[in-house]
Each structure stands twice: as structure tokens, then as C-alpha cells.
Amino acid sequence: MKTPAHIAVTGAAGQISYALLFRLIAGDLLGDDQPIVLHLLEIPEAIAGLDGVKMELIDCAAPLLHDVVVSDDPYVAFENADLAFLIGAKPRGPGMERRDLLRVNADIFAVQGRALNASAKRTVKTLVVGNPANTNALIAQHNAPELPPENFSAMTRLDYNRAKSQVAMHCRCPVSEIKRVIIWGNHSTTQYPDLHHALVRGKPALDKLEWDWYEKDFIPTVQNRGAVVIQTRGKSSAASAANAALDHMRDWLFGTPAGDWTSMTILSDGSYGVTPGLMFSYPVKTENARYQIVQNLEINEFSRNRLQITEAELLAEREAVRHLLR
């Protein structure tokens, strides 16, 4: 039998985690022969609720689940972690500006970065889901100086999945026929969903699609999808976010399919003229649990402008949390 994988999940009593945990113990990420120990982190007020989730996990009698650790201490929760899903964050309250949200959450991710640095395996792969995800990931990474910077990422996979599905619906073809979609930049409404390099049934997407639809319908639809889900469902995306978190980690660990790529928010190395050291969503290919930014894609003026808009937002976010960056 394989040694159990230790998976840490923060915000474990929240709605995304509720959609994630049961898929983890069913083997949806690491396969049906990989035992799992779950390490669940919550704030003290939510521990009682999390104890209830733990009971339900146990009640699944899942053969892969070897243990469940519940804690309100990140140093305990991250102990020995191989994978960390940082989902827990404070939601935006009434009258709260994005700037206020940034500040409250920045402190959380500084603490958790330090805890990962102290407690997790040196190879821990970290995915930040909690918003503002890019900048939270940057803070966590800066506060974990002994861990490889390339092992920190944030989630734009939900945006990528949304983009793929919009194209598939518009072209009336299966999602599997849509390849090489890109989400550039921030997980926010400034993100740039780019179809200039996308393929539909192996042919350039923009040869098949009307430009008007691309610019005026597709781009804003993907950028604003999260808000529209909240308006429609009355709650923010949960199952689709958990699904995207699994897709992100699975591709990172096991590789992207031949002929395709994915989008991940990772530390910029300056590729495509983006300021180095920002957490920026790029097209990436993955192999042997490592990612590489897809290089040499042509960026026209339309795309360049949009890349600059989302980069400017990330630079402003970084300025607002500068005191937490080492």
C-alpha cells in the first residue's frame, strides 16, 4: 500500500471545501490507490461546524481516507502537508471596498505562509483559492522563504473552464474540442480571456467566431461570470470552484494533455513583458509535476492593452500589501 498523502485544506467548513473534500476522498485527484490524510483548518468559531463535516467524511467509510485532523492552528494543520488548498478567506462584507478585503485577507495569508514554511513538506504544492487569490498567493509565497517559490500558485482555472465552456456552447461542439484557451492576469474582472491562440476542432477559433461576439459578449461574460452566478444562485460558485481546484492540481501533478495547455497563476518571470515577481495567470504546460510558461505566442495590440490593464491592477494590489512582502 502507498504511503498516505497529506492534504491540507483551509476554510474547510466553507462551501467550496464542502464540495472538494468528498471528491478528494473518492480519489478524484490522486487516484483510487492513493490513501489520504486530510488536515482541515478553520477559525475557532467554525470548528464546531467542521467537526460535523469530519463526521460526514468518516460516515462515507471511504477506503482511501486514513485520518482527518481538525485544527484552528495553521502550524498543526500544515504539518507534513504534501498539498495545500488555501481556500479560507474573509468574504467581502457590506460597504467593504476591495482594498479593505485585500488588507484583511493579506494578514491571514502572511500567517499561513509562515506556517507552511515551518510545518509543511519542503515539496508542498500550494494552491490559493481565497480572494483576492493572486495577491494572497504572493503574500503566502513571500512569507515562506524556505519553500520553492514555484510551488505557489493561485486559481484562474475556474475562469479558464468557464471560457472553454462558453466557446463550446457558442460553437455547439464538445468542450473536448476546444483547446489552447488562455486566461491572462488577475482572477478579477480585469482578467483577459484570450482566444487568439485557441483552437476549435483543430482550427483557429477566431476564424470560426465572430469578432463582435468575442469582444462584446465572450470577454465580459467570462470576466463577470462569478458575479452573475452570485446574482442567479444567491451564493458564490462552490462546486465549480472545487472542480477547478481539482483540475488545477491534477494537471500540475500529472501533466497537461498533448497539444493543449492550461492557465495557472504563478510567479511571473518577466515573460510577455509582465513585471517579474507578480502572481500572474499565464498559459502553462505541465510535465513531471512542474510547469513551464508557453513561450513565443504572438501578442497583438488588442491583447497587449488588456494584459497591461490586468497587470496594473496587480501592481496596485501589491503596493497595498507591500509591508507583508519580504
Q: How far apart are CA 46 and CA 236, in angstroms?
A: 19
Name the active-site residue from 6, 142, 187, 248.
187
> 11 φ, ψ to 5°?
65, 35
β-sheet bridge partners, residue 282: 264
Tell me if 247 sits within 8 A of 232, measured CB to CB.
Answer: no
Should residue 256 be labelled a site residue for ligand NAX when binding is judged by CB under 6 A? no
Distance of CA 280 to the CA centre of its chain: 11
Should residue 40 be labelled a site residue for ligand NAX when binding is judged by CB under 6 A? no
Should residue 80 be labelled a site residue for ligand NAX when binding is judged by CB under 6 A? no
Cell numbers of 319, please? 503596493
Q: How far apart are CA 220 and CA 218, in angstroms?
A: 6
- Restricting to residues 149-178, name those near ligand NAX by CB under 6 A: 155, 158
Residue from 7, 10, 261, 314 in contact with ligand NAX (CB under 6 A): 10
Q: Which is nearer to ligand NAX, 199 or 225 (CB)?
A: 225
Q: Which is nearer to ligand NAX, 199 or 251 (CB)?
A: 251
Q: Is 12 annotated as a binding residue?
A: yes
Question: Shortest distance, CB of residue 198 to ligand NAX, whole angstroms?
Answer: 20
β-sheet bridge partners, residue 10: 41, 86
Residue 66 bears catalytic tag: no
Residue from 40, 53, 127, 133 in contact with ligand NAX (CB under 6 A): 133
Indicate the angle between helix axes 133-142 and 98-119, nearest 10 degrees. Answer: 40
Should residue 90 be labelled a site residue for ligand NAX when binding is judged by CB under 6 A? yes
Should residue 35 be labelled a site residue for ligand NAX when binding is judged by CB under 6 A? no
Q: How far apart are CA 250 and CA 237, in angstroms?
A: 20
Question: Shortest distance, CB of residue 118 to ligand NAX, whole angstroms?
Answer: 16
Question: Shortest distance, CB of residue 219 to ligand NAX, whole angstroms?
Answer: 17
Chain position carrying cell 468575442:
214
List C-alpha distances in Å: 65 to 87, 124, 225, 247.
20, 20, 34, 20
**Contact stretch for ligand NAX (CB under 6 A) within 6-14, 51-59, 199-207, 281-289:** 6-14
Q: Is 243 annotated as a binding residue?
A: no
Question: Shortest distance, CB of residue 130 to ligand NAX, whole angstroms?
Answer: 4
Total number of residues that touch ligand NAX (CB under 6 A): 28
Q: How far apart are CA 182 and CA 164, in angstroms?
A: 9
| Peptide bond preceding 145 in cis form (omega within 30 of 0) | no
Residue from 35, 39, 42, 291 in contact with ligand NAX (CB under 6 A): 42
How would you classify the pairing of strands 125-128 and 83-86?
parallel
β-sheet bridge partners, residue 193: 183
Catalytic residues, which ones? Answer: 187
Residues at the contact surface with ligand NAX, assessed by CB under 6 A: 10-11, 13-16, 41-43, 46, 87-91, 108, 129-131, 133, 155, 158, 187, 226, 236-238, 241
From the annotation, which residues make up the binding site for substrate? 92, 98, 131, 162
